Structure 1
Amino acid sequence: MTNPLAGLFTARQKESARRDLYARGVLLCGAYLAAHDSRLTQAIGTLTTALDTPAADPFDALLKVGERALETGEHTLALGIAETSTEIRQRSKGAWRLRARALDGLGRDDEAMESYERHLTLLGDGEPADEVTRGIDTLRRRRACLAEASTLFPGDGTPVTAPEFAAHVRARVAEHGPADPAVRRLLRLYATHRRLVERSGMPDPLLGGTTPIGVGGLRALLNGRTVCLVSNAAEVAGSGLGAEIDGYDLVVRCDTFRINKGGTGERTDLHAVSLRGATPWDGPAWTQPAGVRLVFGDPAGAWRRAARQRLTAGAQEHTGDASLRRPLSDPALLGEDRWGTKAGTAFTVLRLLDFLDVSPRLDLIGFDKPGRLRPEEAEWVMDRATHVDDSKMRIALR
């Protein structure tokens, strides 16, 4: 006779196991907070709130904690979160990607490769995989360095591994001297390996024909053209303004955006992004098609590394060069330090376009509500507005 309570009992067992796994993630976060005070706090707080809200799904909040951990260089914490996430949802693409990146950061190359490949198998047709394939390519090139290094002095008898690579190089230099041809080759391999540890390799350094553009080139591109800066607010997506937005000569969007033909329009002629966090190069690749991609960031080293790792071949025709990386504070451009390092992307690109002053029409769409810009940024905009059309969420600066 079938036990009518068996299914209910099994379901409760599964739910209990899932709660235990979520609890493990919270315990990892709690242990971290006990010893640190960092920018992870907000993400961990969001996760804790989600766990206490019956209608909320805490899984995305858990992954966000892992991503924030990667941004701050806390790879061990990120791996713990990733391992918990892959146990909760074994077919989660985001969880396996997080696991691969954490293992990569810890130098556990073989395990990272397995996790990257697991992520790729879960991707659907047409889903972007540039960042993951670049990570796999980098791991393979690092492996090749170690494999060749192991063959240069076959008498050693043990393969060269990443943790012992530096010690192996020092020992061979001391034993054979720097003039030895095998030692010189070993030094070149070590230098290549270190570069690939510090930053991912670029399968296409020319980015599919992307050309750099400076201040003069951007001014020429804008000259005489009408421009609109479109907010990522949900109201715009449902506004029905798509045809009007696409009617401008140049459409500007910021950071992560979604296209809804009827509301947001379809074109992206200029895409502006700002680098955030301690390790901005670890963010997702910029795959949205755009005519020009401007990347704002400081210091210069972090900006170069992030641009190198996150720009995608063929995703843009032009990319801003170093002269456009910090337009607000750069004394060669605006030189306005009062906006600080936390200026929003939308305001940064708007202030740049206004400063260049070659567009006969410069409008903002969807920035009419509080919170879309910082208070001091909104005040600057409204002080210079020539017209406000609430029915179309439009603020005109020309």
Structure 2
Amino acid sequence: MASSPPLPEPTAPADRTARRTLPSTADVVIVGGGVMGASIAFHLAEAGVRDIVVVERGELGGGSSGKPIGGVRAQFSDPLNIELGNRSLRAFRDFPRRPCADIGLDTVGYLFLLTGARQAADFEESVRTQNRLGVPSRMIGPREARVLCPYLSAEGLVAAAHSPADGHARPALVVRGYARAAARAGTVFATHTAVTGMDTVGERVTVVHTDRGPVSCEAVICAAGAWSARIGSLVGVDLPVRPLRRQLAFTVPLVPAAPRIPFTIDFASSAYFHNSDDGLLLGLADPGETEGFDTTWTPEWLDLFRAVVRQRAPALADMETCRGWAGLYEVTPDHNALIGRAASPVNFLYATGFSGHGFLQAPAVGEIVRDLFLERRPCVDVTPLGADRFRTGAESRPEAHVV
């Protein structure tokens, strides 16, 4: 969930494409206009693919991308997630040059707080893997953690894991940056356009039907986030993605101003907080949350957060809040993404189910899907993330560092 509001329809040149008559043909139709769809469109357009239509049922970035926490990191347990995060971090740092947009990147680091010996041992193993893959993370003690984040109480802390290369950015600005660059290259963003069906002939999708008319196409890419299971079902592709509500809140402007702190996470409870404008962003995953598309924000959710931080960061427990949001995580059974090309239809590709990591992995995944579409070898082998892993029993190891 994020420190900027849902993205409006993009301004020129992308707004002109949003209001055009929907093209009747396309080389590729991308379903979903969030950060993943926008990144894929940008990378395809940059590679010379010209007839791209992005179909979005609402506004660009109006789904899960409009309400993420904005974290960008490479601190994961799984080597593939580490590579995707690290490659994306480099792209976020380069965003002012390519695709030429300010995204509010703040490299304050990530700080995982650990309260048990088993947690510390698991993170030590992860840090060794991260270091081997070029991530400058390290284990630190409670005293140093408190220096990095003065809000903390060291009581009960065993250790912490910190990487100074991580941080947070503004998701709406990332979506806008990718969309504007793609639109300049000719991509059509069809907002407020719902997919209603697809036609197949043999092993290929041939037409995407929408409530604004049909689009004949050479390929379809599903980047529909929490709604991907429905899109896959239209062509018989099982995308096991389920929606799960997550909530956050913002404090009022703080006086004196909050110190510049890392993105700080109490790993056992999932409570997290970081700087946001003149205050702090506060979040926590409700363990009692049930599946569904409900995005109602419930202020009483804050009681869960306050109960946790009274011990871990006592000053935060009584801070006044001024607003909150609820958004959807797109969760898979092993909390790893679904990225690949379907066995049938062979021209149906997908990038979804990121379980809270879609924003931070979007730059790398945009490159990978571009290469899969162009039938080139991707920069990272994502074979283990194929959706058929659940059918064949080849599930990947569940990602341990889920927030």
- TM-score, normalised via structure 2 length: 0.22
Higher strand share: 2
Structure of higher RCO (CA pairs closer than 8 Å, 6+ residues apart): 2
- TM-score, normalised via structure 1 length: 0.22
